[in-house]
Amino acid sequence: MTKRGFRLNGITVVPGKGLGKAFFVGRAIEQASTVSISRQDVGDQIMRFNEIREKAKGDYRKLLEKAESESSLDASILNIYEHILDDPAFIGQVVETISTKLYDLETSIRLVSSDFIKRFNSAGTSYFRERSGDMVEICEKLIAYVDLDEGRMKEFIEPVVLVVSRTFTPSDILKYNKDMIQAVITTSGGKTSHAAILARSYSIPVVSGISNLSSYIHPGDVVYVDADKGVVQVRPSSSLTGKIGKAPATDAQLEALRKKWDRPVYTRDGIHIEVLANISLPEDVDQATRYCADGIGLVRTEYLLSNRNTFPSEDAQFEYYTTIFQKMKGKHSIVRLMDIGGDKIPEFFDMPFEQNPFMGWRAIRIFLERKEMFKEQLRALIRAGKKHNYSIMVPMVTTLEEWLQAKDVIAETASEMNVTVPQLGVLFEVPLAILEMDTFMKAIDFASIGTNDLIQYLSAADRNNAKVNYLYNPIEPAFLKIIRIAIETANSHGKPVSICGEMAGNPYHTLLLTGLGLRKFSVVPRNIPIVKEIISHINYAEASENVSHAEAIISTNEMQTWLKNLNKRMLGDTLTKLPVTADV
């Protein structure tokens, strides 16, 4: 039994504090956390149960046909699976659990399967112990179908702390109602993983780097997460939990900044700097608007695929993009084509096994091979954008030839629809592309720099691996030289350039990036008024002059000290007065 006040130490990924009941994400059958439903949802859940049983039986029948033709598998095993799926006792208990206890389908399947397994194991014979393994297989199969629920979000009715006994992924957040997720504890996942970026945008604290989570935390345990310190307290005392909550002063500061910066921002010497928002879902536009975004610098469209069992139709995508554009009310939006791959692989997508998926078949590499998917997204996007202010950005471009192929497909699709090709740009995040950035300039309308993946590839440091976080540093001198050259290249060709990676959203980097010549920041919505406030205290010409001296610095530690001193010298106590949780 876990003791009261049991403390675990991990690594801060997203700062903040959260208190809730432990909910295990994943498919380990013994981790049967509970999600409740309303009485009116009972019928829908039972109908869904019958649907997924039929789908599972269909899968086993296909395997059975293959086994019989190839003699590759004992067909009796597959027959047993189908019998279990049709077992009146199993069906009856799941239906009863949904109907009387008002648990959702996933919870009910887990609980009933767990009960069957315990009974099989206690029977003591080898036959029943084998049936226990069969029950695990059936449970896993059904839960796999539950998770592909066509975008329907699962609703928590009380605050939870997600416990992820593997690498933290974006779908771990997107499949649930985010307002009830108080924090996340995960075995692995870096500060700039896509899941961490999402968590940060929703102000969900995350602690990573804790192994064997199920040995310390049980489903339903009350858990207090202090991600500011990288500490997790299991079954905390009431005196400790009483300390939880955001500081009222922090909330008041942010609200004051929000009201102040509902307008464009200029440096002290009159240079206009745009501060844009990074978003993932249409509802995120409300946050972008609330926090006074000058536009949208990055729409991550691949999150449209979350919780779906097929690629979304053109009409479904059209509705998604239309909602975003309408909410922006004429402000410019840059829409990134789907960056499928890496840690963003849809459940339905037939992705081949890869040793290193971040550097494998991904994004535009997939679209150039699966042109039907590529053109379906383009048609929906171009239809939705006809009367709106938008541009299209292509991720993971490596060579000019690859970009020209993608550009031809976009032009062909626009021609088929009898519309003008929108503004097109490249997300520079592959080292080869950014080193050849000058060759792209005549073929693009704008550029964006994806610092998250770019650092990963340049440093050979997996962004999800907490053990190599020390190598993943955006103020590494060699990296800053590349950023400087990229910004200067775009500016010299008169092409707009932004940074949409996490580096742009760190207030301690605002002065540095402004001095490097950046005039477009794209950040999580909450940080927009903070970044605007810092920019208003910067003299652009002085920042450029001071930052030019950074070229002489050769170590990351020296760069960190120099940047802290520069911020203090040029900004005074501005940073210390702001509700900032990041650091240099």
How does pLDDT run along the chain (584 residues), one tens digit per residue? 444 567 898 888 888 889 999 888 765 444 545 778 888 889 999 999 999 999 888 877 876 775 555 544 445 556 777 888 999 999 999 999 999 999 989 889 888 888 887 777 776 555 555 566 677 778 867 877 775 544 456 678 788 999 988 777 777 787 778 888 999 999 877 776 778 888 888 889 999 888 888 788 887 889 999 888 889 999 888 776 666 654 555 678 889 999 999 999 999 999 999 999 999 889 899 999 999 999 999 999 988 887 677 888 999 999 999 999 999 999 999 999 998 877 677 766 776 776 777 778 888 998 999 999 999 999 999 999 998 999 999 999 999 999 999 999 999 999 999 999 999 999 999 999 999 999 999 999 999 999 989 998 999 877 667 677 778 789 999 999 999 999 999 999 999 999 998 899 999 999 999 999 999 999 999 999 999 999 999 999 999 999 999 999 999 999 999 999 999 999 999 998 898 866 66
Report the half-sphere exposure of 375 (CA within 13 A, side-chain side): 14
Q: How big is the CA angle at 235 (ends 579 and 173), to the nearest 5 degrees? A: 55
Residues labelled catalytic: 194, 500
Cα→Cα distances 237→182, 222, 243, 357, Å:
18, 10, 11, 43
- In CATH, what number does 39-147 get? 1.10.274.10
Instruction: Give backbone dihedrals phi and psi of 153, rounded to 5 degrees, phi first.
Output: -85, 140
The second-level CATH assignment, the architecture, of 249-577 is Alpha-Beta Barrel (3.20)
- Secondary structure (3-state) at 164: strand
- CATH 3.20.20.60 location in the chain: 249-577
Q: What's the CA gap between 488 and 483, in Å, rounded?
A: 9
Q: What does the block give as tokens for 208?
A: 């990573």
- Secondary structure (3-state) at 194: helix
Q: What's the CA gap between 531 and 512, in Å, rounded?
A: 12
Cβ density class 236-267: b for 16+ within 10 Å, e for less: beeeeeeeeeeeeeeeebbeebbeebeeebeb
- CATH 3.50.30.10 location in the chain: 6-30+154-245
DSSP secondary structure of 502-534: HHHH-GGGHHHHHHTT--EEEE-GGGHHHHHHH
For residue 38, the one-letter residue type is S
pTM score: 0.72
- What's the fold here for domain 6-30+154-245? Glucose Oxidase; domain 1 (3.50.30)
- CATH 1.10.274.10 location in the chain: 39-147
Q: What's the CA gap between 467 and 451, in Å, rounded?
A: 20
Strand order in the sheet with 206-208: 6-9, 231-234, 222-226, 17-25, 160-167, 181-188, 206-208, 11-14
